[in-house]
Structure 1
């Protein structure tokens, strides 16, 4: 037996961890994973170890099936083992039980990933300030920021203020955030705003009131509405970004 079979068997044993991690992780928009491969592999290995042992224990608890660890280790060792022929014969004599074991293990890993993510989100275990927030928190910083996830009560909306330079003039753009998009590296790419408006930032210097006392969404005297249903703002052109959570109940 060549090394490829041993590698395949190791992959089958580690696959539950990758499945669990894939379906547990909350992906931010189109970004599938922005973690370094080494860290992702460690996470998957630890998850696979827990899932494999749990499924072996569960199979022994509810069925008469017992995993033959001697045969398993022999197959993983490959040509270096003297009991290789016996291990292959044991699997060939009963291929259904190993097949059912792995198939059910993969289904369990997927369900466990979905269930764990639902539990974390349902009880907001990843909200900043929760006891285990650092452990459960997903790698989705823009999601947490633009949804106001860490607030005690969800906001009714999110207002965006962005400073953009056009030529030699700096403009302040405002609007209600409708959608946002990321690039392949997980960096913010575009913001889609409704009720967009803009004004020159130099108006702050001539205004009698403080710039921080205004409401940029309704200050029609100083802001010029932008025609159109939606305004797309490229993040690469933004100098500074302000996020304001709206509460319409007050």
Structure 2
């Protein structure tokens, strides 16, 4: 019985670390909060949990008339037969108040840290601050900021070209990225595209053929417009992905040049 009680109590002490980690990782920024392995999550939550618990002890012992019974905590964790359950019972409400206060502080701190990390792009400067989601940096264009800070702010449209193997052979689906979702293992699960056109892979342009541009693919006989508002592609069907970051001024310039070549 003491073994179970000690394990549960140890897990309770780690909860503030889990709350901090969850609040930092949760949101549109990551698309995925926790990995599939609970052991991994607990391992990475131990350090922040230890910091929170040490900070809590210092605050209580220096700013309040209460005292933390470290000996009792040690007895509970080590499953000692001399545990004073009467003391535990009399301190239960105070402990619950302390626990929920710590969890609330952990959540607020996690959200605050994430806010300032994203505001100042610290995750781009320091890799340990990056979440386990390479797809965010690719599909937001922030991967460009690794070499030229602020470059992603100029992006107006993200074009995604997906190569898929079908019964008709290799097909290229080209569209505007609308959204994406990750799998439980933090891999890409599916992507949502709009304004999708498809063509056969073998129908590539020859060196002398003009490219009509992304916005005027309907003028290119190689492309077929896919009906519908959103086109969903699952990752297990994808052979390759090409991502193009467009700026409106460059798109319009390319369209003008393509039209001039087309009319010549």
The question of a shared fold, defined as TM-score above 0.5 by the shorter chain, is answered with yes
Correspondence for 2:188: 188
User: What does 1:139-154 correspond to in 2, within 5 Å?
Assistant: 139-150=132-143, 151=145, 152=150, 153-154=152-153
How far has the Cα of 1:168 moved from its partner?
Answer: 4.7
How far has the Cα of 1:49 moved from its partner?
Answer: 0.5
Correspondence for 1:124: 121
Pairs aligned (count): 239
Residue segments in structure 1 that go unaligned for 5+ positions in a row: none
Instruction: Compute the TM-score of the two structures, normalised by the length of structure 1.
Output: 0.82
Correspondence for 1:45: 46
Secondary structure of 2:185's match?
coil
Instruction: Compute the TM-score of the two structures, normalised by the length of structure 2.
Output: 0.78
- Kept after mapping to 2: 8 A contact 1:194/1:231: yes
Distance 1:75 1:228 in 2: 60
Correspondence for 1:21: 21
Which among 101, 104, 107 is matched to residue 104 of structure 1?
A: 101
Distance 1:235 1:15 in 2: 34
How far has the Cα of 1:185 moved from its partner?
Answer: 3.3
Q: Deviations over 1:57-108 (max 9, x none)?
A: 1223332222121222233333344xx34xx343444444323222211221
How far has the Cα of 1:201 moved from its partner?
Answer: 2.4
Correspondence for 1:237: 237
- Kept after mapping to 2: 8 A contact 1:6/1:78: yes
TM-align CA RMSD: 2.6
Correspondence for 1:3: 3
Deviates more, 1:155-164 or 1:145-154: 145-154
Q: Does 1:135 align with 2:128?
A: yes
How far has the Cα of 1:244 moved from its partner?
Answer: 0.7
User: What does 1:57-72 correspond to in 2, within 5 Å?
Assistant: 57-72=58-73
Distance 2:14 2:173 in 1: 49
Distance 1:77 1:188 in 2: 42
Deviation above 6 Å: which 4+ runs of structure 1?
A: none
Correspondence for 1:55: 56
How far has the Cα of 1:161 moved from its partner?
Answer: 0.9
- Kept after mapping to 1: 8 A contact 2:36/2:184: no
Deviates more, 1:41-50 or 1:178-187: 178-187
- Kept after mapping to 2: 8 A contact 1:18/1:44: yes
Residue segments in structure 2 that go unaligned for 5+ positions in a row: 251-264
